[in-house]
Each structure stands twice: as structure tokens, then as C-alpha cells.
């Protein structure tokens, strides 16, 4: 296959200050949960993206000094030589593939959680952080300002020692430099407050001093979110004025939108709320204020759109966090014209949740994300299996079964049979992706369907074929993987409807949604029913609709939408009889469909091994079901495939 000529523009090198970006694919800073506490995981994760063709690969936010400690969240740090040694592993891994390494030097100011340091946060003026109002910042003296600027310079020098090529003076997402710029958080009356020139002074001085210290060796990048005054965001006109004022000092602008959290958190927008390329108008507008290269983000996975946006002049570089997590080899696949191999991000934000709350990144689409070091998994390379001569029957072609079959084939199994009772592959994603806002989730099935076709000489896919234990035993396979999924539990009231059938239509009348899970399904069913014009009441044990959606940045925008559409909230009643509705969508809980697995375990006949993966083992998140199918296939020739091998922890 060859690349389309219209994508050539994405492979033009670009000078940024003293260094050259080899192409237009740039992994912007994003969290991993690794920081400097898991340096080997950090290095392997970022190095993999460089191997996959990203022209530059950055760290997550990287604290410049102990006065900016964000525990319990995991940032990188450049406080001393030990941190330098840890991050040097990453720059070496990135340089090994010819990419540039960037570090996002950061001071959180008012927004630093400071749980480890126990130091007061520092801010332009004394005020409470709107998200942790029980913590009040210390207003910075001029001596504090000079000391933190010194710390920024010292961290930049350490960044050079660690081997970084791009150094950020990170201000966006309402951190310290933006707090100085915003009149909402800067109430000072001295030379650092009041007029625009005074409010811009802290950031400009920091950029100038970092540039003086390391500008000969490194490109100076600045990340700015100039779209909102709220919550220490930056007013659009003042943002553009700042870009003009700082432009001579900056080699690369990295534009983002929104503030750090809350309802203004529109960066990393979930697919539920934002389409691919959604930040382009803001970036186009900021672009007019600078003569320097501009990065724009927006969950880009379509090379046509990327090339169009670069060609239009609105941006020069495709910035990417999530698409680079879902497919570290996206640039290489575009470069080689292997378009049908691109594994597109679905915009679910599990990566964000896992990095920030689970302290170890993971991805729904890419089971290997975060596993490069600890499990030694490469997203594109698969070791031949010692038992690849066996026939494997995978029962159930949901996400877990599909993933398992694909990895088995990539490991050299030549006779994999993937059998499903349903008319199509995809399992529960088939109905889930037809609920409002979840259309991009179908990419989970789309990508795997294409890979099954590409591997058709090794994988036989059979649909409309329910299998019972006797048929499985006599199928002719030596190894059986049961991936039969799970079902929502319903029963006890004729008005009950299972979530599986909601997208196909609802009986007439008022609707109640019972949500015992607090994540995706209850809220999506409620939105679907509201869209049909029904009166809808959401019953749950939670204090708000779908609390887990706050970890994925979806809840804060979804809840007002549901409220505007008329959603009423109520607790779970003690009896279904107390519910005043014609239809009750029952999303209280799921149970594994494990009968077949147990029957086969009780009587395996001549089978060599029986395993189960995905929701059939336990109903969990989609990312975990896919991971489970992937893990079994990776470890199927180990001593005890049913049990995960112990992983490295560095």
C-alpha cells in the first residue's frame, strides 16, 4: 500500500527554534500515572510512540519545585538530579527512534493539591481553590515570585541534563501563569497585578528567563488555553494579546481549550460531547496572533482531516494525546498507507480516568497501553506461541472474544474459530453504540472486524450459531475460550426492560431508569428516552447522575443537558411497586453468562484447556473486557494461562 499524496504534508519536517520536528505528528503532554515514580513504564510508554512515528513525544505535567506538589495526582517532577536520572530513561527511549522529547514544566499555583508536601499552595492572591475550597493559597510576595521563576529556570536546566529537546512554560488549564494573567485570580495591586501588562508580567518573565537559560539548546513551547475567562481561564482577546506579546520569546505554541476542571473543562473532550477536530476554530483564531508554529489538538484520527487542517494554515502540527494512546503507530500507518490498520480512539476517556484516579494509564481500544514495560507488550509485535499448532474455539464474538482471537492469530495460531449466537460480531457494543452520544464506541467493533477480515486465513468467523457444551466438546478444538459476556439482570415486574433492548424501541408511556452502576448505561438510556419525548425519572443510590462519568470528564457536561431535557431524580425505592412509570429500564446490575464455562469445566471431555475472558468472568468496563481477552492470548502458552503473570512494577 502507498500513502495518499494528500497526506504528504503531514510528513514535512518543521524547524522549531534550535531543533527540527521530523514530521507533523506531536504527542502533546498527557498524564500516565507514571511521572517519575514508574520511570521504566514512563520510558517504555513514550518510547513506543516514538517508534510508532510520532515526531515529538512529551511528558505529562512536570512539577518545577516542591511548592507545586499535586499529590494524590501523579505528575512528573524535575526537582533534583534523581528526577533527572529517571526522566533520562524516557528521553533515551524517545531519541532511539529519532523523535524529539518534550517536558511540560509546570507550576500549579492555586491548583496544586499539595497532599505530599504539606506546603501551602502559592498563588498571585490569597484565595481558595474552587475545587478544594478547604485549601487556601498563600499570596506570593515578590521574593516568592522570583524564587519560583528561579525554580523554573533550574528545572529547565535539569531538563537539558535529562536530554529534553522541547521545554514548556506551561500556563494553560488555569495553572500559575494563567492565574497571574486572569483578573479573576490576580487581585494584586503591585507590578504583577492590575493592567494587562502587569498581569502578563509573571509569565513573560518566566518564558524570557527559561529561554535565556536553555533557548540555544531547546525549543521553548508555551501551552495556552485562550477561550474562557471563567475559573482562571484566559479571556480570548487577552489570550491573543499575550500570544502577540510573548511571540518573540516562543518557538512553538500549543493551543488548548478550557480550564483545569469543572464545567469549563472542555479539553480532552469526550466523544459524547465533542467531534473530532472540535478545537480548530479557537486555534485558527489564535493562529492569527503568532508567526511561530502552532499545535492544535482535537482527537484527530482521520488523516484527511489532519491534512486539511494543516493545509488550511490554522495549525502547523497535529497535537495528539488520546489518538496516540489508542494507536501509538498511527503516524507509521499513515506514512505507509496502512489506513485500515489505524485503531481509532473512541473518546471514552478511560485513559484519563485510569491515569488520574487509577495511577496507571490504560486504554479501551489499545490493551497494550501502559503495559509496554510491566508486561512487555508491544502493540504491533507478537511472540509466536509455543502451542500455536492447536485449534482454538472462542465462544462469543463480543469485544473480549474478538480481541482474543485476533491476538491468537497474531501469535501464529492458524486455526482459530470465533463463533457467536448473534447475527453479527460485536457483542454488547452493538446496542451500546446506538445510544445517544456513543456512536464512536462502534469503532471498537469496526477496527476488530477489519482485523478479523485481514486475518481470515487464520480466523474463521461464524455467526448465528449458539453453542452448547456438547457441541463445544465435539467441535474439534483442543483449547476453548469462553467469552459469552454478561446480561443485565431484570425480572419481578412486567414493566421492566433490559438496557440491551432500549435502542430498538421502548413501550409507550412514562419511563423510570434504575441505575445501580453509575457509569455509562443508565445515563445513556435516560438520554435516549428523553430524546423520544418521554417523561423520565432517574432512580439511583448516588448523589448525582452517573458519578463515574466525572472521572471521564463526561458528567459535568451531561448532567445539565439531561436536566434541561427534563430528567427528574429520585432515590431507588425499596419496592418496584412504588415506581410511578409505565416502563422501567433496569440498569441495576449485570451477571456473567458463565453457565457454559462451568459446564465445560465440570465435563471437559477431550478438551486440553478451557478458559474464560471478559464479562463472562466478571462484568466490568469495556476496557477491562478487551484487556482480559488480550492478556489470555498473550499468556496462553505460559504455565498457568488462566491466572495473570506477575508484572514488573517500575
Residue 94 or 330: which CB sits closer to ligand SF4? 330
CB of 551 to ligand SF4, least distance (A): 12
Among the candidate windows 42-50, 118-126, 330-338, 480-488, which touches ligand ADP by CB under 6 A?
Answer: 480-488
Residue 136 or 618 having the CB closest to ligand ADP? 618
In the bound state with ligand ADP, the residue whose beta carbon lies nearer, of 303 and 485, is 485
- Is 161 exposed, middle or buried (CB count within 10 Å of its CB: 0-12, 13-18, 19+)? middle
Binding mask 538-577 for ligand ADP (x = CB under 6 A): ----------------------------------------
For ligand SF4, the binding residues (CB under 6 A) are 322, 325-326, 345-351, 363-365
> 10 Å Cβ neighbour count for 544?
13
Give CA–CA dist 391/606, Å, rounded: 13
Shorter beta-carbon distance to ligand SF4: residue 57 or 105: 57
Grid coordinates of 21 = 520536528
Is there a contact between 41 and 650 (Cβ–Cβ < 8 Å)?
yes
Among 1, 275, 383, 421, binds ligand ADP (CB under 6 A): 421
CB of 13 to ligand SF4, least distance (A): 27
What's the grid cell of residue 567? 430528567
Count the Cβ atoms, other than its own, within 10 Å of residue 389.
Answer: 11
- In the set 427, 437, 522, 641, which binds ligand ADP (CB under 6 A)? 427
Shortest Å, Cβ 648 to ligand SF4: 22
Among 358, 466, 492, 509, binds ligand ADP (CB under 6 A): 466
The verdict on 615 binding ligand ADP (CB under 6 A) reads yes
Q: What does 350 bind: ligand ADP, ligand SF4, none (CB cut-off 5 to 8 Å by kind)?
A: ligand SF4
Task: For residue 511, count other CB atoms closer than 10 A to its CB.
Answer: 26
Return the number of other C-beta atoms located less than 10 Å from residue 457's C-beta.
9
- The 8-class DSSP code of residue 136 comes to B
| Contact partner at residue 619 from ligand ADP, ligand SF4, none, CB < 5 to 8 Å by partner kind | none
Instruction: Provide the 3-class DSSP secondary structure of residue 299.
Output: coil
538 φ/ψ angles, rounded to the nearest 5 degrees: -105, 115
Residues in the chain: 650
* Residue 178: contacted member of ligand ADP, ligand SF4, none (CB under 5 to 8 Å, by partner type): none
Residue (49 or 107) nearer to ligand SF4, CB: 49
Cβ-based nearer residue to ligand SF4, 346 or 506: 346
Asked if 275 and 300 touch (Cβ cutoff 8 Å), the reply is no
Cβ-based burial of 529 (10 A; exposed 0-12, middle 13-18, buried ≥19): buried
Nearest-approach distance from CB 350 to ligand SF4, in angstroms = 4
* Residue 644 is a binding residue for ligand ADP (CB under 6 A): no
Based on C-alpha coordinates, what's the Rg of the chain?
26
Which of ligand ADP, ligand SF4, none has residue 29 at its interface (CB below 5 to 8 Å by kind)? none
Exactly one of 175, 192, 300, 519 is catalytic; name it.
Answer: 175
418 binds, among ligand ADP, ligand SF4, none (CB under 5 to 8 A by kind): none
387, 392, 397, 400 alpha-carbon torsion, rounded to 10°: -30
Give which of 61, 87, 202 is closest to 144, Cα–Cα. 202
Q: Residue 293 binds which entry of ligand SF4, ligand ADP, none, with Cβ cut-offs from 5 to 8 Å by kind?
A: none
Residue 141 or 501: the one with the smaller Cβ distance to ligand ADP is: 501
Q: Is the previous residue joined to 279 through a cis bond, with omega within 30 degrees of 0?
A: no
Residues 6 or more apart from 595 whose CB is under 8 A from it? none
CB 345 within 8 A of CB 299: yes
Query: DSSP letters along 275-291, please?
Result: -TTTTHHHHHHHHTT-S
* Cα–Cα distance measured from residue 497 to residue 82, given in angstroms and rounded to the nearest whole number: 58
Residue 420 site contact among ligand SF4, ligand ADP, none (CB < 5 to 8 Å, cut-off depends on kind): ligand ADP
422 binds, among ligand ADP, ligand SF4, none (CB under 5 to 8 A by kind): ligand ADP
Is the CB of 142 or the CB of 421 nearer to ligand ADP? 421
- Contacting range for ligand ADP; rule: CB under 6 A; set: 88-96, 377-385, 478-486, 531-539: 478-486
Interaction with ligand ADP in 24-63: which residues (CB under 6 A)?
Answer: none
Q: Per-residue x/- marks for ligand ADP, 577-606, CB under 6 A?
A: ----------------x--x----------
Query: What is the biggest distance separating any 2 CA atoms in the chain, rounded to whole angstroms?
Result: 83
DSSP symbols for 482-520: E---EEE---SSTTEE-GGGGGG---SS-EEEEESS-SH
Least distance from ligand SF4 to the Cβ atom of residue 347, Å? 5
Nearer to ligand ADP, 165 or 615 (CB): 615
Q: Note whether 279 binds ligand ADP by CB under 6 A.
A: no
Residue 420 in contact with ligand ADP, rule: CB under 6 A: yes
Provide the mask over 381-410, with x wherever binding to ligand ADP is found by CB under 6 A and - wherever it is not: --------------xxxxxxx---------
175 part of the active site: yes
The terminus-to-terminus CA distance of the chain in angstroms comes to 39
Name the residue nearer to ligand SF4 (CB basis): 370 or 396: 370
Return the one option of ligand SF4, ligand ADP, none that residue 351 interacts with (CB less than 5 to 8 A, by type): ligand SF4
DSSP three-state, residue 605: coil
Please give the full DSSP string across 611-633, using - where no structure is assigned.
EE-GGGTS---HHHHHHHHHHHH
Q: Are 541 and 516 a contacting pair, CB within 8 Å?
A: yes
The one of ligand ADP, ligand SF4, none whose footprint includes residue 345, by CB under 5 to 8 A per kind, is ligand SF4
Q: Which of 7, 24, 428, 631 binds ligand ADP (CB under 6 A)?
A: 428
Of the candidates 161, 230, 422, 557, which one interacts with ligand ADP according to CB under 6 A? Answer: 422
Of these, 614, 627, 630, 633, which contacts ligand ADP (CB under 6 A)? 614
Q: How far apart are CA 60 and CA 533, in angstroms?
A: 44
Give 126 or 463: the residue with its C-beta nearer to ligand ADP.
463
Q: How far apart are the C-alpha atoms of 624 and 608, rounded to whole Å?
A: 26
d(CA 297, CA 242): 20
Residue 318 pairs with which residues in a beta bridge?
25, 296
Contact 391, 478 (CB under 8 A): yes
DSSP 8-state assignment for residue 548: G
Which positions are catalytic? 175
- Using CB under 6 A, list all residues that contact ligand ADP: 395-401, 419-422, 427-428, 466-467, 483-486, 593, 596, 614-616, 625
Amino acid at each position: 500500500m502507498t500513502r495518499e499524496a494528500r497526506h504528504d504534508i503531514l510528513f514535512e519536517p518543521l524547524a522549531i527554534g534550535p531543533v527540527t520536528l521530523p514530521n507533523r505528528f506531536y504527542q502533546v503532554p498527557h498524564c500516565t500515572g507514571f511521572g517519575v515514580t514508574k520511570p521504566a513504564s514512563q520510558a517504555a510508554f513514550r518510547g513506543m510512540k516514538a517508534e510508532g512515528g510520532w515526531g515529538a513525544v512529551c511528558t505529562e505535567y512536570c512539577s518545577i519545585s516542591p511548592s507545586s506538589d499535586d499529590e494524590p495526582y501523579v505528575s512528573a517532577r524535575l526537582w533534583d538530579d534523581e528526577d533527572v536520572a529517571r526522566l533520562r530513561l524516557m528521553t533515551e527511549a524517545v531519541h532511539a527512534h529519532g523523535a524529539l522529547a518534550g517536558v511540560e514544566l509546570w507550576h500549579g499555583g492555586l491548583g496544586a493539591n499539595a497532599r505530599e508536601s504539606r506546603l501551602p499552595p502559592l498563588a498571585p492572591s490569597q484565595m481558595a481553590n474552587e475545587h478544594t475550597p478547604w485549601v487556601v493559597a498563600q499570596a506570593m510576595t515578590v521574593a516568592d515570585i522570583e524564587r519560583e521563576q528561579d525554580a523554573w529556570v533550574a528545572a529547565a536546566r535539569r531538563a537539558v541534563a535529562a536530554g529534553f529537546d522541547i521545554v514548556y512554560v506551561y500556563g494553560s488549564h488555569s495553572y500559575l501563569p494563567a492565574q497571574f494573567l486572569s483578573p479573576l485570580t490576580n487581585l494584586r495591586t503591585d507590578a504583577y497585578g492590575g493592567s494587562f501588562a502587569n498581569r502578563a508580567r509573571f509569565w513573560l518573565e518566566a518564558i524570557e528567563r527559561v529561554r535565556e537559560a536553555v533557548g540555544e539548546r531547546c525549543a521553548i513551547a508555551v501551552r495556552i488555553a485562550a477561550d474562557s475567562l471563567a475559573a482562571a481561564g484566559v479571556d480570548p482577546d487577552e489570550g491573543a494579546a499575550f500570544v502577540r506579546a510573548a511571540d518573540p520569546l516562543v518557538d512553538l505554541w500549543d493551543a488548548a481549550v478550557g480550564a483545569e476542571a469543572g464545567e469549563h473543562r472542555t479539553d480532552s473532550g469526550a466523544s459524547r460531547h465533542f467531534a473530532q477536530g472540535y478545537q480548530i476554530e479557537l486555534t485558527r483564531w489564535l493562529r492569527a496572533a503568532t508567526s511561530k508554529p502552532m499545535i492544535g489538538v482535537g482527537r484527530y484520527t482521520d488523516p484527511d482531516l489532519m491534512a486539511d487542517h494543516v493545509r488550511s494554515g490554522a495549525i502547523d502540527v497535529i497535537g495528539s494525546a488520546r489518538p496516540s494512546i489508542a494507536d501509538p503507530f498511527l503516524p507509521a500507518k499513515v506514512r505507509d498507507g496502512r489506513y485500515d490498520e489505524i485503531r481509532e480512539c473512541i473518546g471514552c476517556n478511560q485513559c484519563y480516568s485510569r491515569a488520574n484516579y487509577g495511577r496507571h494509564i490504560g486504554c479501551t481500544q489499545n490493551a497494550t497501553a501502559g503495559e509496554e514495560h510491566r508486561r512487555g507488550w508491544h502493540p504491533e509485535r507478537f511472540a509466536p506461541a509455543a502451542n500455536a499448532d492447536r485449534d482454538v474455539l472462542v465462544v462469543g464474538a463480543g469485544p473480549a472474544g474478538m480481541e482474543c482471537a485476533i491476538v491468537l492469530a497474531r501469535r501464529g495460531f492458524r486455526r482459530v474459530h470465533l463463533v457467536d449466537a448473534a447475527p453479527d460480531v460485536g457483542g454488547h457494543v452493538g446496542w451500546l453504540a446506538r445510544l445517544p452520544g456513543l456512536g464512536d464506541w462502534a469503532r471498537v467493533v469496526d477496527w476488530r472486524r477489519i482485523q478479523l477480515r485481514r486475518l481470515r486465513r487464520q480466523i474463521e468467523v461464524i455467526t448465528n450459531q449458539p453453542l452448547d457444551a456438547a457441541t463445544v466438546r465435539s467441535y474439534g478444538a483442543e483449547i476453548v475460550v469462553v467469552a459469552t459476556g454478561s446480561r443485565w439482570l431484570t425480572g419481578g415486574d412486567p414493566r421492566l426492560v433490559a438496557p440491551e433492548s432500549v435502542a430498538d424501541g421502548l413501550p409507550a408511556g412514562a419511563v423510570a431508569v434504575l441505575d445501580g452502576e453509575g457509569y455509562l448505561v443508565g445515563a445513556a438510556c435516560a438520554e435516549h428516552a428523553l430524546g423520544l419525548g418521554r417523561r423520565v425519572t432517574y432512580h439511583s443510590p448516588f448523589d448525582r447522575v452517573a458519578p463515574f462519568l466525572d472521572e471521564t470528564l463526561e458528567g459535568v457536561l451531561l448532567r445539565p443537558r439531561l436536566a434541561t431535557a427534563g430528567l427528574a431524580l429520585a432515590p431507588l425505592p425499596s419496592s418496584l411497586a412504588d415506581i410511578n412509570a409505565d416502563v422501567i429500564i433496569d440498569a441495576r446490575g449485570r451477571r456473567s453468562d458463565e453457565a457454559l464455562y462451568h459446564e465445560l469445566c465440570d465435563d471437559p471431555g477431550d478438551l486440553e484447556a478451557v478458559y474464560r475472558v471478559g464479562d463472562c468472568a466478571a462484568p466490568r468496563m469495556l476496557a477491562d473486557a478487551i484487556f482480559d481477552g488480550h492478556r489470555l492470548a498473550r499468556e496462553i502458552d505460559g504455565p498457568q494461562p488462566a491466572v495473570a503473570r506477575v508484572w514488573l512494577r517500575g
